Structure 1
Amino acid sequence: MQKTFVIFKPDCMAQRHVGQVLARFEAAGFDVVGCKLARLTPELLREHYAHVADKPFYPEIEAFMSQRPVIMMALQGEDIVAKVRDLLGPTDSRKAAKGTIRGDFGTDMMTNVVHASDSVENARAELARFFRPEEIFAL
């Protein structure tokens, strides 16, 4: 069984889509094995977005992601990294098909409802960044 990391982003929280999005993950057969609510700090965001932290648009990402608390989850399931990404649709919500999470609830590249790990390696790194080992449970 694979695990992946997701963040219910500030737009998801503000528009009260958490329940609908979580229901889609559960309907796909995924299990929640870790969950917490937190406000992301500038330091944690800089680490998480290190691959773009030197770009001119990074301050906008940091401001958006820190504007309100977010829900972070560890999900478990067969081939979950790829399957979650398929459920979400493309990163740019404007290009996401209706029926995908981003196609139904997102609006653009940043306000796209959920962050999800894009590889098994990144899932491991992101889970370790946002959760202590004892906060992720085995089923």
Structure 2
Amino acid sequence: MATETTLILFKPDTVEKNLSGKVLERFLAEGLVIRGIKMMTLSDELLAEHYSHVADKPFFPEIVAFMQKTPVIALALEGEEAIGRVRDLLGPTNSKEAPAGTLRGDLGEDMMTNVCHASDSPETADAELKRFFNEGEVFSF
């Protein structure tokens, strides 16, 4: 098993509903370790880069508006097979399809209002961590 660091974004629905502590607690209970954490407002430029795979879709402005509704919490979590474990804890992207016991099944509402974004591969995690954290903001000890 490989030790990985992954990016998680606590989306505006999590921040608005004051669920950040509850969500973080569930990640930590699984043995994942915080390597970086900060609250931030997302710029148009950062969102265009992060969602470049859908930037040409008609629903992209809705994503931007939602992601800028409140600040988000960016989190770097480390652990054995962290990327897959985080995604398993979250459940399917569409909260309506997520089973009870997953974060999205318990706390999410739909495709967008779905608690967190999480990296889906080691390559994506590397790029996303660099996108949301400056050098020196993700720690290893």
TM range (shorter): over 0.9
Find the counterpart in structure 2 of residue 111 from structure 1. Answer: 113
Any residues of structure 2 matched to 1:1-139 within 5 Å, and which? Answer: 1-139=3-141
* Percent sequence identity over aligned pairs: 56
Q: TM-score, normalised by structure 1?
A: 0.99
Quote the Cα distance in structure 2 between the aligned partners of 1:101 and 1:89.
7
Quote the Cα distance in structure 1 between the aligned partners of 2:28 and 2:103.
13
Give 1:133 deviation, angstroms.
2.2
Q: Write out per-residue CA displacement over residues 14-48 of structure 1, whole angstroms, 9 at most, x where no aligned residue.
A: 01110110000000000000011111011100000
Aligned length: 139
Q: TM-score, normalised by structure 2?
A: 0.97
Quote the Cα distance in structure 1 between the aligned partners of 2:136 and 2:127.
16
Quote the Cα distance in structure 2 between the aligned partners of 1:18 and 1:33.
16
